[in-house]
Amino acid sequence: MEYILFAIIAYLLGSIPSALIVGKLGYNKDIRQHGSGNLGATNTFRVLGIKAGIIVTLADILKGTAATLIPLIFDADVYRLVVGLFAVAGHTYPIFAKFKGGKAVATSGGIILGINPLLFIIMITTFLLSLYLSKYVSLSSMITGIVTIVLSILFKDIGLIIVTTILTIFVFYRHRENIKRIKNKTEPKITWM
């Protein structure tokens, strides 16, 4: 019963469409009608700029983190990584935005932040280094996922290995069109780094 309750809470948290809220309240824009149409941080950076992109990134990270920390408040006997997966599901398929959300990268990172802050710091470092070298957000996200799996193996935490593998596979799945564009050299590169 506890799992059901916290799964619902996590899903609803994840469903909060940060990019849509920031776009409409701060810029009078429905971000779904601009750029890639995606409700994620990358499209926010592209359409609304760095300030809005940072706000959305932080909000999306915190959705995942909150989902893993709320069970602690109630001293619930649940595996918090599993609860966090429902926040990712909410972010990707949000009930508050017609089930069309982001690609789950920032919210996945937020789950890790709530469970293992050291691993999260290494993930952020990996992402930023990959982004600096490649200029591709999508590629950097996928590389970070692979590095996270390897690090999870080094931590010898079977639950962490399973969840990071699930999240990474999902991130690859959500980026399948980006992979095609990278191969065809049509994927947009960032210009601000």
Residue 159, pLDDT score: 94
Rounded-to-integer distance, Cα 188 and Cα 136, Å: 7
Residue 170, pLDDT score: 95
Q: Is residue 66 part of a domain?
A: yes
Q: Is residue 101 part of a domain?
A: yes
Summarised one tens digit per residue, pLDDT across range 162-193 is 999 999 999 999 999 999 999 999 999 988 77
Residue 191, pLDDT score: 83
Q: Is residue 188 part of a domain?
A: no
Contacts of 88 (CB under 8 A, 6+ apart): 14, 64, 104, 107, 108, 111, 167, 170
The domain of 113 spans 2-183
Q: Is residue 79 part of a domain?
A: yes
Residue 193, pLDDT score: 76
Q: Is residue 30 part of a domain?
A: yes
Q: Is residue 190 part of a domain?
A: no
Structural domains counted in the chain: 1
Q: Is residue 192 part of a domain?
A: no
Q: Is residue 85 part of a domain?
A: yes
Summarised one tens digit per residue, pLDDT across range 128-157 is 999 999 999 999 999 999 999 999 999 999
